[in-house]
Amino acid sequence: MVNSTQGSYFTFSAYSHSGPMKHVFFFIVLLLYMLIVFANLFLIVLISVTRSLHEPMYVFMCSLFVNELFCSMWLFPFLLVQILSDTHNISASFCFLQIFCVYSYGSIEYANLVIMAYDRYLAICFPLQYNTRMTTYRVVVLISLSWLFPFLGIIVVVSLIVPLQFCGNIINKVYCDNYSTVKLACSDTTIINIYGIMYASFIISCPSCVIFYTYMQILKVCFSGSKQTRQKAFNTCTPHLASLLNFSCGAFFEIIQSRFNMSSVPNMLRIFLSLYFLTCQPLFNPVMYGLNITKIRKFHIDCIGI
């Protein structure tokens, strides 16, 4: 490294010039954090204690909520401290931990959305065979893979970043990410660049193909099926499609923020773009899926005459 001081920490420039607005930012982020924790934790508990919700669809939702809670509880307390701090520095080791958390969250989130698309595909295209195809064993395997593979993939990413020598320490965001950190390296980054491209291509292209295929099959069934089939497909797929679109927007903002020079962009907009990726799903999913659970629970209660 160029020198021990520069190599031991990074500085977030997106917090600069916030001035008296930092207290407003603090209370906004604190409110978002409290809402995220409460909403996701509430739905996790609801699904866990309600026997009628112990079905694959809700188990996959629970995995989604756990991931969002995991990311928020790791990152938001540090963001709150940084907003009020006069110096916006982060140690190199904690920066690498942030990279692991952020990218694990994104990869696990997308993997869960893919599994939910597959689950809806089986439920709509093979309703009579659904219980034999989506067994408890398969649910456990799918959830395990959706967490294990991203963890292993991101561990490799972080292990390739740690040995790098850095010639700068200014990160133009409010948290660490892989691309912004690697840009500061003055040592050879060929291996991590190749691995990053391969991992990103695999984690995006393969799941996207699965989602595309499942929804093409669902559309075929809808066009050839009855009005009741189309209504069922609409009710079960709308929350998933909305969540997928919301996540894609957040990922797009994250890429724009990391890959392009944002120094000419107003500071408040830079902070918003940085926070959107961390808040778009954890806030959106509990509302979207929570309303869906409420409707289904109400329908179930009406049917059994309670």
Q: What is the pLDDT of residues 127-162, one digit of tens each?
A: 888 889 999 999 999 999 999 999 999 999 999 998
Q: Say which CATH class 4-301 falls into.
A: mainly alpha
What per-residue confidence (pLDDT) applies to 156? 93
Residue 67 binned pLDDT confidence (cut-offs 50, 70, 90)? very high
Query: Using CA atoms, how far apart are residues 210 and 226, in angstroms rounded to an integer?
Result: 25
Average pLDDT value over all residues in the chain: 83
- Is residue 36 a contact partner of residue 72, using CB atoms and an 8 Å limit? yes
What per-residue confidence (pLDDT) applies to 2? 38
Ramachandran assignment for 187, one of left (phi > 0), alpha (psi -120 to 50 degrees), beta (any other):
beta
Name residue 11's beta-bridge partners: 89, 170
| The model's pTM | 0.87
Percent of the chain with pLDDT over 70: 88
Strands 89-91 and 9-12: antiparallel
| Terminal alpha carbon distance of the chain | 68
- Is residue 57 a contact partner of residue 92, using CB atoms and an 8 Å limit? no
For range 272-291, the mean pLDDT: 83
What per-residue confidence (pLDDT) applies to 108? 93
Annotated domain spans of the chain: 4-301
pLDDT greater than 70 at residue 70:
yes
- From 301, 289, 235, 247, select the one nearest 59 (Cα to Cα): 289
Strand ranges for 74-153 from DSSP E: 89-91
